[in-house]
Amino acid sequence: MERELIIVLDFGGQYNQLIARRVRECNVYAEVHSYEKLTLDQIKEMNPKGIIFTGGPNSVYGKDSATYDSAIFDLGIPILGICYGAQLMAHLLGGTVKTAPVSEYGHTKTELTKEDSAIFDKIPGHVTTWMSHTDYIAEAPAGFEITAHTKDCPVAAMENEARGFYAVQFHPEVNHTEYGSDLLRNFVYNVCKCKGDWKMDSFVQATVEQLRAKIGNGKILLALSGGVDSSVAAALLAKAVGKQLTCVFVDHGLLRKDEGDQVEAVFGPKGQFDLNFIRVNAADRYYAKLAGVTEPEAKRKIIGEEFIRVFEEESLKIGAVDFLAQGTIYPDVIESGLGKSATIKSHHNVGGLPENISFKEIVEPLRMLFKDEVRKAGLELGLPEYLVFRQPFPGPGLGIRIIGEVTAEKVKIVQDADAIYREAIDTAVREGKMKAKPNQYFAALSNMRSVGVMGDFRTYDYAVVLRAVNTSDFMTADCTEIPFEVLQKVMNRIINEVKGVNRVMWDLTSKPPGTIEME
């Protein structure tokens, strides 16, 4: 696919994916590549409109520090250095990088000193930026102009306008930096002269054409979980090759309430897509395998292995296929190889792929998309919003939202309690009692039973735990503030409507030290 490209050259920074996402939000395509794996000749062949050096954990003057061939500066391609990337630019071009007398971390007042800088266009002269560094650029290279400083950092930004080289000590990609997205937009448009041709409608159209050409008259098989990634992959493939696609939906009985039926309503015989749909209702089989098992990792392993067995059995009924499709997305590719060929992604219920399925090649239609882009593609393909914006859901499903042994009775309890909770949050947002939904929220079932009183009778029933967190990256998370009246309403409904529950608890734990899921 011919398109404008920005290369994000990664030097070990924690925000490499975020930089690429911010560039793509400007309708310009970006790819992340490791400095160790991308050669200068490959960069020339890729013909990018610009290059961004990421941050990194080292000191540029260290013996084994991440570095790159200085000939990259002779390619005539605009380059933006961020944090470590800024220091590396200074170091390679003859400037001086030293240990800073005062390290800067967090929100930092920054003064911009060049009004007509291409990357600071329409950005105020005083902004708050996000710093994270112990080294600093003590002396800018020859030909560079210092364009920003802070109280403790003399070179918070520098540029060589004639050569198209720009560097900022702070992180424009994070939300904490004011006008950070504007700075990146200015780089890709003002400096790199991009036009912005990365749009989801054109991606969907081009991908459908590519899939048709690749698959030809072949047969293709997809494990459909009902999650966003596999659903969008199924919709893309169905649009491309129709009945040549077979989707196997293994319903392990650990989905949220009514989700299995919702998946079938979209992809089944009465749905909107022309494909072969096989639903395997395997709940009893899973419950039997999980009987007596309480250890979280053991449950995960059983659920994954059983998926392999069920999927394998169904695939053998179908016979040999030419292609196996997966819902691999770009973060999986980055994490497994930083731009090199990704290792085969295990299905999110699986510890590995079935060995006995006969296929020639793996097809991953979403492998270059971030999650937000996958959702946009889903809307473009006509998938219903409730599916496209479905909350993140663990592969083992409710198996890890039930503490202790998994039984059919416990699954029904947590399904019903979770449905009440999600409905109450939806109502609270719609009625203006909450500004927005939490990034993730669910009900889980503790393994604790306690005495209660309902009517004139003593009970000895389970405690449901409610969880809600706000997060931008799911690596850290804080408990969401939910109005007490909403929680009270949820508690009353769960106690009154869900058999087997006599207590409702609220989990305040952040991540870290806790995890988002219960197990």
Which of 159, 173, 264, 306 does the annotation list as catalytic? 173
Helix (H), strand (E) counts: the chain: 14, 18
Q: How far is CA 293 from CA 222, 287, 404, 414, in A?
A: 30, 10, 7, 18
Other beta carbons within 10 Å of 41: 8
CA distance 30 to 188: 10
Q: Does the active-site annotation cover 149?
A: no
Question: In the numeric block, which tokens belong to residue 128?
Answer: 């708050």
Can you state the percent helix, strand and coil of the chain, rounding each to 5? 35, 25, 40
- C-alpha 267: how far from chain center: 24
Question: In the numeric block, which tokens belong to residue 434?
Answer: 């909450």
CA distance 511 to 519: 13
DSSP secondary structure letters along 182-228: HHHHHIIIIIS-------HHHHHHHHHHHHHHHHTT--EEEE--SSH
Question: In the numeric block, which tokens belong to residue 324?
Answer: 């196996």
Q: Is 237 helix (H, G, I), strand (E, B) or coil?
A: helix
Q: How far is CA 251 from CA 134, 224, 246, 278, in A?
A: 51, 10, 16, 10
Q: Tokens 């991308």 identify what position?
A: 38
Residue 453, class by beta-carbon neighbours within 10 Å (0-12 exposed, 13-18 middle, 19+ buried)?
exposed
Q: Does the active-site annotation cover 348?
A: no
CA distance 210 to 233: 14
Which of 33, 91, 133, 171 does the annotation list as catalytic? 171
Enclosing H/E stretch for 128: strand 126-139
Q: Does the active-site annotation cover 479?
A: no
CA distance 472 to 425: 19
Which of 83, 153, 194, 247 does the annotation list as catalytic? 83
Q: Tokens 């009514």 identify what position?
A: 258
CA distance 270 to 281: 18
Residue type, 16: N
**Whose CA is closest to 177, among 134, 101, 136, 120?**
120
Which active-site residues does the annotation give?
A: 83, 171, 173
